[in-house]
Structure 1
């Protein structure tokens, strides 16, 4: 039975798609890096088909277009199917696998995924995890990337760990660009031109010499100037404020020792403790 040429091309394209998928699945996640299985297959195949269609080698233009349609439509259908069905998604795209659990490498899983110890160590180093014993578990994603959760004692200390409340961070606003003040983002910060000009005077920087100026969520102005040889002085306001608070706290402790009144001693001691507690909470902000 003789099939039309275009139909034969479509059948062959579907067959190649299935074969390439199986071969790629056998090769494992390591071969696809950051691409999904079908992105990897489609990328190399569409390039070859497009090149052959363009130069017209052993084919005609209509056959090439028919094949390209197959390689375009089928992945769209598969993509839609994976969104709707979890089992289909696991079969076609793969699923995450645990390769390290409680600081111990799962050798059987590594062999199944065709990864060596060196491969996993390289991926761990990319996540700043140099000691396997510090890893609670590591998951090899379908994309070939490695997700790592460090053990609790090996995780960086956060304000939440010490029950410290910190203000939420907001997006820095660019208020100066190439020597011009941007009024709209400046208004979003709650400051005005007068305040901005006063801050520039403190930094001793001319407006027309600024490439970019930004205000962070704490109201701090930072600038990048055209002439990099000029050293911009750091603002001392926060340091002076911190020093003043510490002086007040020291004065309270001194007054506690100097007075003979029990009531005054208790008052000074109580307020000195309050100031000491406040200093611990805001010191990291004022030291920036």
Structure 2
């Protein structure tokens, strides 16, 4: 076999082996790596390169070496799942870097981290003042996570005492100008509905790069032609306006009638509807 052909064959075999082993090791191996996973990734990559290029050595030896590393890695992951002590020993534990707005300099030195590097990581999380941080920790994979003090956290519906129903994920119904029937069926919609919504927006299907429908049945589209401005969906604003109109009509009915029973009924309904509007208004404002 010519040398160039042998290199091609060995490279293809190495790619297949690397792909199969990576799939077997799971998604952790391609996400944020722990210390041992980092070593494993480098080693397996080096051995597969050896399988591919070292034509003077039997390549089955490289396959044996990769298999051994794979089995060791799999065994260590199994031990980590069973034992916290093993996890702490292999991956180390988290290190607190900031507590109550105070930077812990000794822990920074322990992790060989400078103040500039710490602030850089905080800025990536939109945190610009260390004094606003309640708690910051460096995870075993090297990532820094931080929690702001209560007074600096964004206001959420929970802070306002508003209960918000779970919101289903948006469904992508158009990709590259083609309709996706399964996501439409998930939402209980069909092609006729989608074509009608596209007509309302004044766009053609073949000009849609991506189309998504949210939990409220509103269609959002991204067009290939960026010069065209697509009007924003008006379902929620229209619904809010209709609710306010109904509430105003009830108040008018209460004022226009002379019957006390009817006046009280209209007033009670108006107050109840106003409470409903107050609850759903945060969801209906664009």
Q: How has the CA–CA distance of structure 1 residues 205 and 97 changed in structure 2, closer, same or farther, with 3 Å as cutoff?
A: same
Q: How has the CA–CA distance of structure 1 residues 173 and 266 changed in structure 2, closer, same or farther, with 3 Å as cutoff?
A: same
Q: Summarize the alignment of residues 68-107 of structure 1 with structure 2, pairs less than 5 Å apart.
A: 71-107=69-105
Alignment length, in residue pairs? 255
| Contact kept in structure 2, 1:202 and 1:235, CA below 8 Å | no
Taking structure 2 as the reference length, what is the TM-score of the superposition? 0.73
Any gaps of 5 or more consecutive residues in structure 1? 1-32
Distance 2:61 2:102 in 1: 51
Paired residue for 1:284?
A: 282
Paired residue for 2:221?
A: 223
Q: Which of 164, 174, 178 matches 2:162?
A: 164
Taking structure 1 as the reference length, what is the TM-score of the superposition? 0.73
Q: How has the CA–CA distance of structure 1 residues 42 and 201 changed in structure 2, closer, same or farther, with 3 Å as cutoff?
A: closer
Distance 1:269 1:193 in 2: 43
Any gaps of 5 or more consecutive residues in structure 2? 1-30
Q: Which of 179, 182, 185 matches 2:180?
A: 182
Q: Which of 145, 148, 154 matches 1:147?
A: 145
Paired residue for 1:197?
A: 195
Cα deviation 1:87-146 (Å, max 9, x = unaligned): 122112101122212222222222222222222212211222222222221121111111
Q: Summarize the alignment of residues 199-278 of structure 1 with structure 2, pairs less than 5 Å apart.
A: 199-254=197-252, 256=254, 263-278=261-276
Paired residue for 1:119?
A: 117
Give 1:48 deviation, angstroms.
5.3
Give 1:68 deviation, angstroms.
5.7
RCO (CA 8 Å, sep 6+): is it higher in 1 or 2?
1
| Contact kept in structure 2, 1:246 and 1:279, CA below 8 Å | yes
Q: How has the CA–CA distance of structure 1 residues 85 and 170 changed in structure 2, closer, same or farther, with 3 Å as cutoff?
A: same
| Contact kept in structure 1, 2:218 and 2:235, CA below 8 Å | no
Q: Which protein is bigger by CA-based radius of gyration?
A: 1
